[in-house]
Amino acid sequence: MHTQQPPRASGSTHDVYLLDLINGISGALDYVSSTVTGHHRRVGVGAAAIGGAMGLNQRDTTDLLVAALLHDIGAFSLDLRLDGLDFDSDHTAHAGAGYRLLRLHPMLTRTAAIILHHHTGWNRLPPMEDTAVPLLANIINLMDRVDILSHVGTRILGRERIRNSIRPLSGSFFAPAAVEAFLDLSAESAFWERISDTWAHVRDGVESPIVEDVIPENQLLHFSRFFAYIIDFRSRHTATHSQGVAETAVHLAGLAGMSVQDQNKLRLAGNLHDIGKLAVPVVILDKPSELDNAEYETVRNHAAACETILRAVPGLEDITDWACQHHERIDGSGYPHGLKGSQISLGSRIVAVADVFTAITEDRPYRAGMTPAQTHAVLKDMAQSGILDPDLVALLLDHHAATTAICGQAQRQALAEFTRFRTW
């Protein structure tokens, strides 16, 4: 029926290591607010240094670093303001949200427990079966305050004033051993120089096997869903989008004859395709009317942000192309690179069609989801005008009912997860 087949492309992933991936997620959080740029890495580097000085074993030191790199993740998913960080504020909401989010992933259950208590004072921490968790959470608590006082907060202090503010809290808010280690380290300028957001420092002192462990393919899929939750759970209006795109893309890839391996990689790409929207304020995502020019440009920038975030994770190179080129257009009018025709891989074309299909059929703040007839008309027009691949559009429309059912099931599952996350 279709005379011209879209170009074949075979994506490939290489080994992806846990710390590389966590570091990438941590870097992605910088896009939400310029206030916190580098904050999570600085807390991670400082916390790992304190843990090392305290003689923690490698497993605890690594888990401490991973938890520190992600410690405020709940604030992003709840869309809490971070431009006026105040250590005296009640942060239990985002600590709990971070716990609920991270415990969804089987490799991050201990990390979740640490983050749950990273704003609990030392003298209020409950006893736990994993006896190291309270201390690890408290070290993050201490280093979080240090970084807020030195970089992020509304009252930036010098090094000695920071040290003097931490010292009297020993035994009450902070563990005495952690305070002692911090005071010893922070007496030297090398400690402050080490607290940076460079990858070399993030890896300092961390030699646990977890650093060298390759994430199994099924766990990588879990992580991509985890990424999707961070993106989508910021708003009810985006809560189901990424999983709808992922499953639509997989279905369309199967119809197009792609291998099962490539279909699985497309599921990763679909889950990750909107990670750049962390750089888009929720007020824009939820705007109930047409965007103005400046707002539209902010939204457009998410594709470039997606590339920056995912290219920082070694092993996701081809998936990055599939995920981040979903706004490239066959006629060259797309972004971020203005690719055209055969320059756009099959995987990228599939994600583009899946993204448009999912977006126009789901409810948005400014309109209800389109009917099947409206969906047919819009997709055909976009194919005829050179925006979307015409063969892929025709393939989807030939299987419209099945595609709608698959997308709908994925979105219902995502909505159930979102509801549990928000009401837990």
pLDDT digits (tens, 9 = 90+) for 38-90: 888 899 999 999 999 999 998 898 899 999 999 988 877 655 555 444 544 55
pLDDT at 123: 95
Query: Is residue 353 pLDDT above 90, yes or no?
Result: yes
Higher pLDDT: 13 or 424? It is 424
217-423 falls under which CATH superfamily?
Hypothetical protein af1432 (1.10.3210.10)
pLDDT at 323: 96
Of the candidates 59, 57, 89, 55, the one whose C-alpha atom is nearest the C-alpha of residue 72 is 89
Q: What digits encode the pLDDT tens for the residues 91-137?
A: 677 888 889 888 877 788 999 999 999 999 999 999 999 999 999 99
C-beta separation of 59 from 106 below 8 A: no
Of the candidates 222, 120, 216, the one whose C-alpha atom is nearest the C-alpha of residue 174 is 120
Among the four given CATH numbers 1.10.260.40, 1.10.3720.10, 1.10.3210.10, 3.40.1390.20, the one describing domain 18-212: 1.10.3210.10
The DSSP call for residue 311 is H
β-strand partners of 17: 214
Query: Is residue 260 pLDDT above 60, yes or no?
Result: yes
Q: E strand or H helix at 69, and its extent? A: helix 58-69
Higher pLDDT: 344 or 228? It is 344
Domain with CATH 1.10.3210.10 in the chain: 18-212, 217-423
Report how far residue 266's alpha carbon sits from residue 224's, in angstroms, rounded to the nearest whole number: 11
Residue 273, SS3 per DSSP: coil
Report the first-to-last Cα separation within the chain, whole angstroms: 50
> Which structure tokens are listed for 258?
């792609």
Q: What digits encode the pLDDT tens for the residues 156-192?
A: 788 999 999 999 999 999 999 999 999 999 999 999 9
Higher pLDDT: 226 or 338? It is 338
Q: How many helices (H) and strands (E) does the chain have?
A: 23, 0
pLDDT at 126: 92
> Which structure tokens are listed for 378?
């819009």
Mean pLDDT of 187-201: 79
- pTM attached to this predicted model: 0.84
pLDDT at 8: 35
Helices assigned H by DSSP within 233-301: 241-255, 260-272, 282-285, 293-300
Amino acid letter for position 396: L
Query: Is residue 4 pLDDT above 60, yes or no?
Result: no
Give the gyration radius of the chain's Cα atoms.
Answer: 23
C-beta separation of 42 from 196 below 8 A: yes
